[in-house]
Structure formats: structure tokens, C-alpha cells
Structure 1
Amino acid sequence: MTATTTTASTRVGRLTSSTVSSSKAFRIEPVPIILDIGSTNVRVGYAGNSRPQHLINMDNAIFENEYQYEVKSTKASDASKERNNKKSKTKTESEWYLILSPLIERVFDGLMCKPRRVVCLYSNKRYAPLSFQKAIQQHLWNRGVPAMVELDQLQCLPISQGWKRGLVVQISREEAVCICHADGQLLPYTYQMIPSGGYKNWLQPQTIDGKTEYVLPQRDSKDNKNDDDASMSSLVSAILSCLQSCPRDLRLHVAKNVLFCGDGVFLLPDLPRRAMKRVQDILQNNKHDKEGNDEYNSMVIDINFASVPINVTSLRPLASSLSLISCAPYRADWICWVGASLWATVWNKYSDEETPIPWKYYTLEGGFQ
């Protein structure tokens, strides 16, 4: 009995020592958290899921300038507006930390899990203030997050549907963004942003019992009066400019996969069809002179976008190839979250040498690096 016990204990000791030695090369960790910070809401859940586990709505946009959306009886001077604008854009890391504290607390209270790696998505990572990113990193470190990675929402979008080349139009509350995507990479030189293209520009004031609220307009399918407004024209011009900036050998592939996503598409499902209809009409030059002048019909159409004329002559062969694809089976407002969820699930290897995810680890010298 004694010999048997000794042999068994020795065997267990060898297994334990081998397990400890191999654990350094092979890491067992839970799946990462996907944290998607949008314009007016936050989506959070675990990698591998097909939908966010929690949705946190914010009363105002996180980068909203106070003077722009607050209605007062007296008009503020241009000087005071400029001061408020500068104050809003120059928040320090400490100020952002205080603003984000209740939001991050709700995120982790909803998940009720131990600290794990976080994939953080920004609605517009190019213009997210550095102090804002530092504040989020500090929050995650205080929560015990061992590592994180920061991505652009549109960077992970094609993974949810499997296409490799296309044009993405994202419509949030504050702005609209157009950019081409090719073979897993965003093409930064095709990037177009419309500050006045957010869905808030389509909202209309409605006063009930003395209280004014902004609601979506009740639009008849036969009513096309909203197709000529400034917001729609800017969006159409941005799409054409994005196609113009795309390399010629990619234009045909990009035009076949035009995808609209974002909160604005979920609230205004008819908006993509209306925008692409105008783009196609412009490329086909479907404007006719009342007197039947053929010379007028053959004119080159120029569209003023940011005071710069866009010559669409080279884009006209794409008119018959333009194709609007749907976000189905996912919702337009969380399709980017789904793409990040699939990406993190496939590429989150348990070995640091094998994973292609550029994880940032916290260092005492300068935060996450």
C-alpha cells in the first residue's frame, strides 16, 4: 500500500510540474470582452456571440458640443460659441475620466465577470481625442483588465458577412462616414466625412404639452421632397468622392458591395435606397432638357462637395454595377460589433506568439503599450 501511494504521488507530482511548465507557453483565458463605444450608445458582450449582451443608451452624444443642441431663448454670440467649442474639444484626461466613470461602471456591472481582455471599438477612431483614449485605458486598468486592443468599427465590419472589397457608409447621430475596404484593409485616402450627415439632421421638432422633442419624420413612400435636402446631397457627394478616390482597378469590385450601417440606417431604413438611387441617376445622367436639347444631355455633371467640383465622367461605367447589399442577418447598428466578435473569437490564440491581435499590455511607465 505504501509503495502504491508513493508511486501515485510521484506521478501526480510529475503531471503538476509539467502542467506548470507548459502553462507559460500555453495560456488558458476566457474569451475577450467586445466594448463598442458609439455616438449615443455603448454595446458590450462576449466574443463569439452573435449580438451584444447589453446596450447602454446615453442621453447625449459623447462628443457633443453643448452649445449646438441646447435651445435657449436668447441667442449666444459667436464669440461665446467659439469659447464653448474650444472648451468642449480640449477636455483633459481627468475630465474624460469623470465623464466615463458611470458609463464604464454600468458596463462591468452588467457583465458581472472577472477582469479579462477587452477589444475596444470607436465610432470614429481617427478623431477620438488622445485624452479620451487615455481615460478609457485608465478605467480598464483600474478594473484589472490585463490587455486591450483599440480598433475602428469599420475595420471589422466585412468579417461579419465575408466580403473582401466594398464601400462602407456609416451613419451615426452626429456624422456620416464613407470609406473603401479592400482585402482586410481600410483605404484611408478614400475616407470622406460629412459633419452634417448624421441622422439628427433628419429629426424634426415636435411640441407636445409645451415640451419639444425631436422625432423622426413621418414620410410617405410616394413623397420624395426630402431627397433634395442638404443632408442627402452631402451624403451623395461624399459617396461619389469616395469612389473617385478609389484606385481604378478596385472601383468595380467596390461598387458591387455598397453597405450602409450605423444607428441612422436602423432608424431610417429607407435612407440607403434613396441615396443610392440618386447616385445611380447622377452617373446615368438621367436629367433631360425640357426642350430636348441633346447637347445638354451630354454635359458632364459636376457636384459641389465642400466647394470642390467632382467630375463624375470616369465613374459613369459603374452606373450599371452599383449594388446595395444588406446587413442581414444582423442589425445595421450592431453589425460592426458582430464583426469584432467573430474576429476576436477566431484570432484570439492562447499563445502570444501565434495571435495576430496587437494586444496592448499595461506598463507602469506609460499605461497600455
Structure 2
Amino acid sequence: MTYIVWGQVPLPLVALWAAALAAVLFTRMAYALRLLSVEPADARPALSRMTGFAFANGAVTGASMPLFFHALSFEGQALLTMVLVCWSAGGVSTAAAHARAFYAFVGPTLVPAAAVWAMTGSLQNIILGVLILMFGLIQIFFVRDNERVVRESFSIRYDNARLMKALEAERQEAALARDRAEDANRAKSRFLAAASHDLRQPLHALSLYSAVLKLRATDPNTGEIAEQISKASSALTALVDSLLDISKLDAGAIHPELRPFDLRKFVERIGADFRPLAEQKGLAFSVETSDAEVLSDPVLLERVLRNLLDNAVKYTRDGSVRLVAAVHADHVRLAV
């Protein structure tokens, strides 16, 4: 701007205008720095003050047109107008987040320029003044849309932050509920593991009484009833044993006792117990094993295999059941 008017406008007038513009700009910068250092509790008064600074900046900037226009050549007038138009366009990016600040700036910047050109009386200059005003209106619409986009982006960001906070709270509540449930389940498992003897004792006594009743039965009907009681007691004992074993596993009360044993004898013995059950259902039963000595807990392993075979025989309607023990390098794969 100084380059344009240098030598054509009196120096005191240029200095006065430049001092006024510098005072507005430095005051606004100082206020903005203070806002950055101390965040206000309510942003609305700060926005109003920044809008006032924008108006003062636009008024001082726009005053250059009536102050300098008539002292300049036509080329200088055109260049001065171009600088003001570009200056106002630069405010689009700086005031996009708060459209009112741009409205306060662009009006006093471009209206004097349009008025000065129109007051020359030339039709061409009047059209130029109208074009300047239309350019300002286009910028206003553009800034309004930019403000809407900025506000929506901040709204989405805050909504996402609130959603993440709510999800985190729900996650913590779910984790707390899961921990409580796991604690309760472990407490239940520890209780059942500790009470296993007390739970098995009545069943064992019932089994003994049914056996005695069967031996001392005086007629066939009594013996049949005793036999049914014994079968029901055995089934109930097996079910309770399974439940207690699961509870012991959950409670960590079962510890494997590893020792070497013969794989073929182990597998064939278990297969021999289930072969009659399978044949009673009309199922083919086969055992495939290998000669090997393995290191494991035979008691726990046998219980696992018996559960698998029991389910296989129980839920297979037709076909066959196979028990396979295959040696692979340094381990054995058991499959039902």
C-alpha cells in the first residue's frame, strides 16, 4: 500500500493512516495472545471484542480509498482497488470460523471503494463499483457456508468425544460386572471343590444301601427295584463327579500328576469298556493305537477320553465310533 501511494499522497497523511492501522492490528494481536494464555470461561464476550477489532481494521483499511484515491493516477487507483479487494478476500480464511467478524471487516473495507468509484459519475466506474459490492456479497456467502462447515465439524467432534466417553464408561461397567461374575464363579467353584466329599458321601451311601437291598431281596420285584435304584445312583454319581471335576478345574484345585505309562494298554483298556455299549446300539467300534510310552496324567486323560467316548456313543445314531491314538514326532494325538 505504501509503495502505491508513495510520492503521490502527502507523507503525513500516509503516516497517520499507517499508524492507525498498526495500532488496530497490534491491539488485536495483543488481545488474541492474552486469550491464548488465559482461556475465558465464556467465549461470547471475546468473540464480540474480536468482531469489534475486525470492524476497526476494516474501517481503517477502507479509509485508504477516500483518503488516497483522488491523489493517484488511474493505474494507482486500479492497483489500490485491487489491493483492497485481495485484502478482503484474505479475510475469508482468517474469519471462516466466525462469520460475524468477516461481515464486520468486509463492509467497511469494500463499501468505500465501491462508493468512490461510483461517485466519479462514469457508467464504467459505476459498474465497477457494483462489481466490487457483488464480490463482497459472494465472499459473505462463502464465509457463511464455511462457518456452517466449521461448526458442524466441531459439533461432530464433540459428539464423538461424548460417545467415546460413554463407550468407555460402559466398557468399564461391563469389565466390572465381568470381574464380579468371574469372582462369584470362582467362589462357587471353590465351594464345590471343597464340598466334593460331602456331596459324594450320600451318593456312596445310597449305592451301598441299594446293593444290600438287592442282596437281601425276598422277591424278584424288590430285586428289580434295587437294581433300578443302583443304576440311578450310578448315573447320578457320574453326573456329580463330572460337575465337581469342572468346578475343581475352574478353582484350580486339580493339578496334573505326570508319569510314564504304556499307550497301547491304556487305550485298549478304555476301548474295551465302551465296545459293548456301542454294540448294544448297533454301532461299529474300533480302536487304533501305537506302541509308545507317554508322559501324562493317566487319571485325568482317562476321564477326558471317557467323556468323549460316552458322548460319541450316546449321540451317534448309526455308523461307527473310532478311538485313535497316533504318534507324531514327540507327541501323541488322541481323537474320538
TM-score class normalised by the smaller sequence? under 0.3
The structure that is helix-richer by fraction is: 2
Structure with larger Rg? 2
TM-score (norm 2): 0.22
TM-score, normalization by structure 1: 0.21
